[in-house]
Structure 1
Amino acid sequence: MISAAVLRGFGTLTRTRAAFTAPLAVRCYSHAKVETDEEFDSRWVTYFSKPDLDTWELRKGMNTLIGYDLVPEPKILDSALRACRRLNDLASAIRILEAVKDKSGPHKEIYPYVIQELKPTLQELGISTPEELGIHKA
Structure 2
Amino acid sequence: MASSIFRRGLVAAQSVSRSFSTTGAVLANQAKVMEMSPEKFDNYFIDYMSRPEIDGWELRKALTELHSVDVIPDVKVIEASLRACRRLNDFGLTVRFLESLRMKCGNKPQVYAWLISEVKPVLEELGIPTLEEIGYDKPEFFVPDPDFWWEKTWYKDYGLDKMPGYKHFA
Fold agreement, TM-score > 0.5 = yes
Please show how residues 3-18 of structure 1 align to structure 2 within 5 Å.
none
List aligned pairs for 1:95-106, cutoff 5 A: 95-106=96-107
Letter in 2 for 1:130: L
Counterpart residue number, 1:48: 49
Q: Which residue in 1 is equivalent to 2:60?
A: 59
Give % identity. 43
**As a proportion of its length, which structure holds more strand?**
1
Match of 2:40 in 1: 39
- Structure 1 match to 2:85: 84
State the match for 2:137 in structure 1: 136
State the alpha-carbon separation in 1 of the partners of residues 44 and 62 from structure 2: 11
RMSD: 1.4
TM-score normalised according to structure 1 size = 0.73
Larger RCO (CA under 8 A, 6+ residues apart): 1
Deviations, residues 66-105 of structure 1 (Å, cap 9, x unaligned): 0011111111010011001110111111111110001100
The residue number in structure 1 matching 2:115 is: 114
Which residue pairs with 1:20 in the alignment? none
Number of residues paired by the alignment?
Answer: 106
Paired residue type of 1:87? L
SS in 2 for 1:35: coil
TM-score under structure 2 length normalisation: 0.60
Moved over 4 A (4+): none
Structure with greater proportional helix content: 2
